Structure 1
């Protein structure tokens, strides 16, 4: 397939095989299976360029040292793929917890950044960030909004300083299930309080979309309470308001679809329901609406990151084990690049 754009590169996510799985839910999908589906996906000659990886067991042992880094690099490169952004497994601690809990949080960031640096040095990871969240709930945060935001910011600053030692940037995930990050305004307040050059925002077209509706923070909703999904103009105006506030912070971007509802499975709290790109209940025009994140107020491309990643979690295993699913996902990513990509 001839296309004028070869950037941003198109990456798949591996954590959909873990998030919402196990603990009474469906079994975890093996890392090798996800790599095979990703490598086999093809749409008119275009293939995935790489994968973003959650440094999560059982896929990855973050304590495995250089041997584990090499094992992971060899597995991915054997499929002709690169590695992009990494998810730090910080949930054994909390960014607004006790001194000991916060120390665990920062140490896991350190381990993720060291992992990422080694992957870069091996040449398998040309770009990407380390993703974090607050590892705390909106309900706990709401007990002391100002105080808890201050503590989260202090923890994030410490984590940023650690990340800088490894040449890494941290991206805070815009997802309604994380305290201090659960609305567009709380997210913005947290980012501004951190005030570090290597701190940014990870926008997800599904998770971040729910900021419009004010889940977990009704006073911060952007769309009116009587909003009707048929009102596309109001939806686009809401997206413009949202992206104007958070786009300047955005250093990582997930393409996704959402049906306007929340969902959780396994041990994962309710958050934006990821839909397949061709879901008839999807509320987003993926290719068009990605432009609100990828283009500035002047309509020009920001080129703030060199790859985009599909993120679709908590789908049934039956869906994730179909090659057709990954082909459809790749097609959605291609549509975004054709509309908002560039050649380099």
Structure 2
């Protein structure tokens, strides 16, 4: 019998992240309606996407959406046979979690509005699982100017964010990505999580593309979990990847299936981070179903603190995203993960 969990979701934000820039050749934003349509149309051997995860920012979803706006959103998603899962809180635009008092106030205001939207979508019935995604919203370079004080500010801000989330019945997942100050290496990420001290509420979003660079020590050489001279030998790769996932798996609140060629890439205003590659990219380093199991299984037991997993195709060119075959291949890979590691 086919596994029912985790549910398979696509993400809407790849239609926005790195898009709409003013530089020559920049891809335009892909509308939320189009991202929903591309998601709903994908199908492989009778398997379809179960839902979509959303970015709470215009031109997709207004953070100040009215109740009527959210009802219309729910109707639009539901009419395609999909549900809504995780939501990305738009906490950028200032100094973030370790910025000024005004920066931190704005950060928490955006978080509060995001949690309120999550609860309303739950009440409508279109959302039954998922988290609110956050990060520190400031760069490793700025963090490095005063790492001890800045980490204290990160911890204080996200502790308050945890209390806000709990008041709405929400959970928070800090994006496991090297481009955010104070969590740019796995050691600093664990320091942040342990300092916040709300493990039932605050964890990580583990993205297979982004987290791979933690293992390599890309922004924190002292965190490398592979030997010097490492050249993707399978044994050394698996040993390093297991060490990384064993450290971070207990904190996973949200999981993204992805492929990575082990290079870093940024687009528009987005700092460099793990590159998302097509499922079948010839330079991809991950055996997707196999390496997903490092996250989803602990000593051969399912890690079931998630109800769904998502594909994140950020910074894919629009020419690829507009091709139905792109989404069919992604869906096929995600279903292979579920069949290998899922549950009923």
Match of 2:214 in 1: 211
TM score, norm. by length of structure 2: 0.97
Match of 2:39 in 1: 38
Alpha-carbon distance in structure 2 between the residues aligned to 1:277 and 1:293: 18
| Matching of residue 279 in structure 1 with residue 281 in structure 2 | yes
Aligned residues: 339
Alpha-carbon distance in structure 1 between the residues aligned to 2:71 and 2:90: 19
Alpha-carbon distance in structure 1 between the residues aligned to 2:9 and 2:265: 24
Alpha-carbon distance in structure 2 between the residues aligned to 1:64 and 1:307: 25
Q: How does 1:1-344 map to 2 (within 5 A)?
A: 3-24=1-22, 25-93=26-94, 94-196=96-198, 197-229=200-232, 231-296=233-298, 298-343=299-344
Provide Cα deviations, 1:168-217, integer angstroms capped at 9, x if missing partner: 00000000100011111111110000001311111000001110111111
Q: What is the deviation of 1:4?
A: 2.5
The SS at the match of 2:98 is coil
Alpha-carbon distance in structure 1 between the residues aligned to 2:101 and 2:267: 30
Alpha-carbon distance in structure 2 between the residues aligned to 1:51 and 1:138: 30
Q: Which runs of 5+ in 1 are unaligned?
A: none
The SS at the match of 2:285 is coil
Q: What is the deviation of 1:68?
A: 2.0
Q: What is the deviation of 1:90?
A: 0.2
Select between 60-69 and 322-331 the one with higher mean Cα deviation. 60-69
Q: What is the deviation of 1:144?
A: 1.6
Alpha-carbon distance in structure 1 between the residues aligned to 2:236 and 2:69: 49
The SS at the match of 2:302 is coil
TM score, norm. by length of structure 1: 0.97
Alpha-carbon distance in structure 2 between the residues aligned to 1:199 and 1:269: 24
User: For the aligned residues, what is the CA RMSD?
Assistant: 0.9
Give runs of ≥4 in structure 1 deviating > 4 Å.
none
The SS at the match of 2:174 is strand
The SS at the match of 1:79 is coil
Alpha-carbon distance in structure 2 between the residues aligned to 1:303 and 1:172: 18
